[in-house]
Structure 1
Amino acid sequence: MLIALTLILAGQAAAPSRQSPSPAPRDTVTVAVLTHDVERNDRVTAGDFAPEDRPRAQVQGALSAHDADGLEAARRLVAGSVVRRGDLVAARLVRRGENVTITLASGALSITSAGRALSDGGAGQPVRVVALATNRTLDGVVDGEGRVRVTAR
């Protein structure tokens, strides 16, 4: 039979008892990471991401796959990386130098013409375009993919 004794010497405190350590807070969290490389100006979709456990310190400011869906890469992003807000920008529906359809609407009248974008723009953003038929520069608003709406003055 084995008996355990604790000896306390005068002027000394007892040694702390050994207990099993309490479970540490979870060091990792599940976060969305890219499954493949994404080039600058490419749009990302929710399907470009997969869940992965990462250390909590590495995922500060990470976007979910849902929040990133439909945005464009502001720079080249590599597979396995956590995507943050600064890595993505709003999708540009009109790009400088590309052909666009210009629509001039005034009441029930609507006129369309071919044009070329002089600046980039996302949905609802102002852009400058050149009407190819008249070579006039116009100010408009991005109305969709490759479409610019100009209002009559």
Structure 2
Amino acid sequence: MRLLISAFLLAGGGTAAIAQSAPPTIDAPVLVRTIEKGDRVSAADFEAAPVSATAARSAISPRDAAGMEATRRLLAGQPVRGTDLARPQAIRRGEAVTIALVSGALSITTAGRALSGGGVGEPIRVVSLSTNRTLDGVVEQAGRVRVAGQ
């Protein structure tokens, strides 16, 4: 749909016509409520509304956005781009964690602190509180990091 806006101006006794067309709009999914950074998004948070074609081009579908976490504050009435969302974090930076070293039947655990955040299956860095040593591990679940034997 194109909208044509016309205006007539009087300048020095003459008339001039100025025509300007508005950018085309199409229906795209937009948020029905404001989502704060770190909140999870669901498919129910979206509705179809007319937005500019350029904004709609980068919009993510509600199905793809469901279960993801906002990386910044997302305003109601705006389309959501893929860069606005990330996989949910099971561990956040600075959070207390359990560090587990598992090798066969042997399992050793110790208290630690996360130096970075990550979702399940993602690599993160942690520091052991008993040795003050920095380790690389993989998030197993919320609050638990698995490290490889060395």
User: TM-score, normalising length from structure 2?
Assistant: 0.72
SS at match of 1:119: coil
Write the distance in 2 (CA, Å) between the matches of 1:45 and 1:114. 34
Aligned residues: 127
Say whether residues 1:118 and 2:110 are aligned partners. no
Deviation of 1:52 (Å): 3.3
CA distance in 2, matches of 1:144, 1:122: 8
Q: Share of identical aligned residues, percent?
A: 54
> After alignment, is 37-46 or 72-81 more displaced?
37-46
Q: How does 1:92-111 map to 2 (within 5 A)?
A: 92-111=89-108
Residue 58 (structure 1) aligns with: 55
1:48 to 1:113, Cα distance in 2 relative to 1, 3 A: farther
- Which 5+ residue runs of structure 1 have no aligned equivalent? 1-26
**What is the TM-score with the length of structure 1 in the denominator?**
0.71
> Does residue 145 of the first structure (1) align with residue 139 of the second (2)?
no
For residues 61-82 of structure 1, the C-alpha deviation after alignment (integer angstroms, 9 at most, x for no partner) is 2111110122222221111111
State which drifts further: 53-62 or 140-149. Answer: 53-62
CA distance in structure 2 between the aligned counterparts of 1:110 and 1:46, rounded to whole angstroms:
41
3-state secondary structure, aligned to 1:127: strand
Deviation at 1:98, TM superposition (A): 0.7
1:98-137 Cα offsets, whole Å, 9 max, x none, are 1112111101222222211011222322211122233332
- Structure having the higher strand fraction is 2
Corresponding letter in the other structure for 2:99: I
Amino acid at match of 2:87: A
Name stretches of at least 5 consecutive residues in structure 2 with no aligned partner: 1-24
Which residue number in structure 2 is paired with residue 16 of structure 1? none
Q: Which secondary structure does the structure 2 equivalent of 1:59 belong to?
A: helix
- Deviation >3 Å, runs of 4+: 51-58
Q: Quote the RMSD (CA, aligned, Å).
A: 2.1
